[in-house]
Amino acid sequence: MKRSLFTLVLLLPFFAIGQVEKPKLIVGIVVDQMRNDYLERFNHQYSEGGFKRMMRDGFYGANHHFSYMPTTTGPGHASIYTGSTPAVHGIAGNNWYDPIQKKKMYCAEDRSVKTIGAVNKDGQMSPRNLRMTTITDELVLSTNFQSKVIGISIKDRGAILPAGHLANSAYWLSDGNFISSSYYMDELPEWVSAFNEEDRVGKWLKGDWNTLLPIEEYKQSLADDNPYEPILADEKAPVFPRNLKKLSAANGGRDFIKRTPYGNSLVLEMATAAVEAEELGADSITDFLAISFSTPDYMGHAYGPRAIEVQDTYLRLDRELESFFDMLDEKVGRDNYLVFLTADHGAAEVGNFSLDNNLPGGYVDVDSLKTAIDQFASQYGMSRKEMIEEIEGNKLYWAHEVLAEKGIDHERLSRDFARMMTKQLGIYCAYPTQNLIWGSTTSYPATLVQNGLYPDFAGDVVWVLESGVIDYGPTGTTHGAPWRYDSHIPLLMMGWGVKQGKSIRETNIKDIAPTISMICHIPLPSGTTGSPIEEAVENSLKSQE
């Protein structure tokens, strides 16, 4: 049984006297790299029971955005579940440089724990780098540790950060198997081991990937064979159908599943198994299942937002969400669960696509930037390597000990460097980070840059690329900017306590957690800076008289 009869008998008076009703299950869904326009562009080809069901029967926030930079996976998941920004919750990037320890950090890295379910280091992960509580933490605390919380994703950070500090478990993929960390458990549950033994990855990679619909119906995408997509090893052209057995053998083996739409299938199969094995939503104590679909991010990076591969991935995900919701309707009850769906960031156009179509954008010239930085350093009688301790992403860290020895004022140096960077092609602006951390600003995009800086890891100078300009290869695309193509993502909510409707008022990613808090009568996460979305909350919330 999920909970002992003795425990439930003891809890009966607690739930019978003045207890506010809550959903039996909350399902949080993050679709990695889902731009909001995918809801509209592909809408006519979606089923009635997936994305359309959420838009029709639930709440659709059509003008939903991030309010910080960098718009990347780690910060995105942390912001959704804490109701705050990197400046508060501390997940300042997927990776960052720690100038105190003088080493690079990964957002979920934890070398104090061990891998569970594999003989490698892929499980040396935990949520300890997350400085604030999550909505999942607050749920567990509000039920005195009775709620079950489980996170599932292909990416470790996509499972760990949403599940929070008090989760029962989080599972992510390593060489085709779901693994975990000793932060949560000493060994995998029997149902997870049994799931892995079925080798579902091997089964998916035996067949071909062809389009779900006739390929001529993919009119919202570019031609199947176009110059903005990569040609994989053992592939003559990036076209359908794809022989997955052949391609996986030449491109990473079992790990290749994440670069096909069947990575989403695998995650939903695992999520369904979790609902059944862990009896999520089986009684009156609210549980939480956090699902993150990583495959759309891998697909978007490889093929860009206008590829048939991406469109087909979303059409397939839509059908699988329909099946998943049908399963929840049957096992938990249509009116007994609450589900929200959003994304951790969007994506830019492929740089060469922008150039070919006379759109603003393209590529930053990294070699020219290095030359400019070398010339700047030479003005102070130093080399770039002497002056700069580290450059991580769009942040620079001075070698402060060297500057002190030479009597160079690092604050003035930061101002001069920022002015120099702003003059470079492809750079929109640059800021001394101390000006943003200790000052205030209302200008755009300075406020978004400010919200993305956690003081301990902020560095000395930060810069922003021009709109549409990316630092990436000739095919595929990336994300991380403050511009709208990276910040505008979906918000769909459906089910228990959610008011049906649509809003075009601008809402923020940090508003999701407090909205869930208000609907479910859960305390706000500790660092919440967002506000509840009133339009999404049913006025007549269920409560015990």
Residues 462 and 68 sit within 8 Å (Cβ to Cβ): no
Which residue in this structure is represented by tokens 């903005």? 228
Which are the contacts of 45, defined by CB distance < 8 A and separation ≥ 6?
A: 213, 217, 315
73 catalytic per annotation:
yes
Residues 404 and 389 sit within 8 Å (Cβ to Cβ): no
Residues 89 and 82 sit within 8 Å (Cβ to Cβ): yes
Report the length, in residues, of the chain.
Answer: 545
Q: Is 277 buried (19+), middle (13-18) or exposed (0-12) by CB count in 10 A?
A: middle
Q: How far is CA 173 from CA 17, 185, 238, 301, in A?
A: 43, 16, 26, 19
Element spanning 16, H or E: helix 5-16
Q: Which of 71, 72, 73, 143 is catalytic?
A: 73
Q: Which token pair is 189?
A: 């549950």
Exposure of 466 in the CB half-sphere (CA atoms within 13 A): 17
- Which three-class secondary structure state does DSSP give residue 406? coil
Closest CA to 423 of 477, 479, 466: 466
Round to whole Å and give the CA distance between 526 and 343.
22
Question: To 5 degrees, how large is the angle CA 91–CA 95–CA 98?
Answer: 80
By annotation, the residues acting in catalysis are 73
